[in-house]
Amino acid sequence: MGPTDTVRRSARSTGADLGRRPDTLRIARGALLAAGLAMTLAACGGGGGNSSNSDRTLSAVAFGNGIFVAAGKGGRIQTSTDGSKFVLRTSNVERTTLNGVGVGLGLVVVVGDAGTIITSTDGIAWQAEVSGTDVSLQAISFAAGTFVAVGYQGTILTSSDGHAWTARSSGTATALHGVGAGPAGFVAVGDDGVVVTSADATTWTAAVSNTVDTLYAVTSGDGVYVFVGANGVVGHATDPHTWTAAPQTTTGNQVLTTLQGILFDGSQFVIVGFSGTIYTSPDAMTFTVRTSNITNDLRAVTFGNGRYVVVGVDGVVRSSADAVTWGK
C-alpha cells in the first residue's frame, strides 16, 4: 500500500491494549442458521465479465466450502460459486470495515475493524464472535488446524474452531497487516518491515526482513515464503527467520508498484497491487505483467474452482481462468 492506504489504515489505528484482556475468551456458540436459499449466479465466458454489486472497496477475498467470499467496507459480504457473479449478503456489521477472510474446518471467518470477527458455514448466514479486543484486525489465515488473525498494535489471536479466540504475544506493538503459513509454520508481516514467525501459532519471535518497507501480505509455495509490500518490495525466505528483500522489476524492467496481495496456486505466484497491477511469476523473482483492464487499486487475490479472483477499490472484481486474461 502507498500514501493513500497509509491514511486509510492510520485512521483505524486506535484500539484498546490487547494485553489488558483475558488470554482466552469463549462464548457459547449460537446455532449457525442454515439457509436454503439458492445463490443467484450468472456464468461468464473467456476472461470473465464481473459484477461485485457494490461501490464499496473490497479488501479481501478467499475461496473455500465451494464458494468465493469477498469482504470490505460498510460490512460488505459478497459470495459467488463461479467467481464472476457475486451476490450481496447481510453481514449484520454494516457499519464496520472488514479486512480479511479465512476458510477452514468448514467455516468462513471474516475479521475487521474494532476487533470484529464474524463466521459462517455457507457465506449467507453470519454470526458474531467475541474477539476480546477492539483493535482493528487486518488479516486471517488457516493452517494446521488453527486460525490466526493479526492486526494493529501487534495483535495476534488464535482459534482452533473460529469461535473461541486466544490472545498471543507477538513481541511487537507494530501494526500487522498480513499472515500466512508454510512448512516452517506461520509468518505475520506489517509496518516498517516487521516480520514475526511461529512454528505453532502460540510462541512468536522476530525475524530479520532486511527491509523497512511496510509489508501487506505473505504466502508460501514450493518451500519458499514470499512477502510483498510498499515500493514494490518482494522478500524471499526458506527459513522464515531470515529474509532477502528488494524492490523487484518485471521482465520488461518495469519497477513494481505497491503490492497488496499474493497467492501461490501450486505452480505460480499471482501478485496484485495499486493501479490494477497484476503480475504472475514462477518463482517470485521474475515477473510478467498481466493486463487487468482497470486502474483501480487491487487489494487481494485468491484461487479456487479453476478461477482466479481479484478484488479492490470501488467494489471492483475481476476473474480469470488462467491468470493471464482478465475480465473487462
pLDDT tens figures, 247-294: 877 766 666 789 999 999 999 999 999 999 999 999 998 999 999 999
Whether the per-residue pLDDT at 229 is higher than 90: the answer is: yes
Share above pLDDT 90 across residues of the chain, in percent, rounded to a whole number: 78
* Cell numbers representing residue 262 in the block: 499474493
What does the radius of gyration of the chain's CA atoms come to, in whole angstroms? 18
Share above pLDDT 70 across residues of the chain, in percent, rounded to a whole number: 81
Q: What is the pLDDT of residue 246?
A: 87
> Structural domain tally of the chain?
1
Asked, for residue 34, whether it belongs to a domain, the answer is no
Q: What is the pLDDT of residue 256?
A: 74
> Whole-model pTM?
0.83
Q: What is the pLDDT of residue 50?
A: 59
Q: For residue 219, give its domain range.
A: 3-16+50-320
Q: What is the pLDDT of residue 166?
A: 98
Reported as a single tens digit per residue, the pLDDT across 80-102 is 999 999 999 999 999 999 999 99
Lowest mean pLDDT among 29-38, 45-54, 76-85, 266-275: 29-38
Residue 56: band (very low, low, confident or very high) from pLDDT cuts 50, 70, 90 = confident
Whether the per-residue pLDDT at 22 is higher than 60: the answer is: no
Give mean pLDDT, residues 216-221. 98
Whether the per-residue pLDDT at 34 is higher than 80: the answer is: no
Average pLDDT, the chain: 85
More confident residue, 41 or 100: 100
C-alpha to C-alpha distance for 294 and 289, rounded to whole angstroms: 13
Q: What is the pLDDT of residue 4?
A: 36
Whether the per-residue pLDDT at 301 is higher than 90: the answer is: yes
Reported as a single tens digit per residue, the pLDDT across 86-143 is 999 999 999 999 999 999 999 999 999 999 999 999 999 999 999 999 999 999 999 9
Asked, for residue 243, whether it belongs to a domain, the answer is yes
* Cell numbers representing residue 98 in the block: 472488514
Asked, for residue 32, whether it belongs to a domain, the answer is no
Sign of CA dihedral 74, 139, 89, 67: positive
C-alpha to C-alpha distance for 240 and 264, rounded to whole angstroms: 17
Contact 129, 165 (CB under 8 A): yes
User: Residue 187: which CATH number?
Assistant: 2.130.10.10
Residue 53: band (very low, low, confident or very high) from pLDDT cuts 50, 70, 90 = low
Asked, for residue 39, whether it belongs to a domain, the answer is no
Asked, for residue 25, whether it belongs to a domain, the answer is no
Nearest to 240 by CA among 170, 176, 200, 182: 182
Asked, for residue 80, whether it belongs to a domain, the answer is yes
Asked, for residue 129, whether it belongs to a domain, the answer is yes
Under DSSP, the state recorded for 251 is: T
Asked, for residue 201, whether it belongs to a domain, the answer is yes
Sign of CA dihedral 99, 304, 229, 244: positive
